[in-house]
Amino acid sequence: MVKRLNITDEARAEASRRMANFFAFTEDVLEDPSILDQMPDASEIDPIPKAEREPGRHYDVETRRMVVTVTPVQPEELNRRTSA
Domain regions of the chain by residue span:
9-83
pLDDT in tens, 16-25: 999 999 999 9
Residues 40-44 have a mean pLDDT of 88
DSSP single-letter state for residue 34: G
- What stretches of 6-74 show up as alpha helix (H) in DSSP? 9-31
pLDDT at position 25, please?
Answer: 96
DSSP character at residue 36: G
DSSP 8-class letter at 80: H
CB 59 within 8 A of CB 66: no
Contact 21, 48 (CB under 8 A): yes
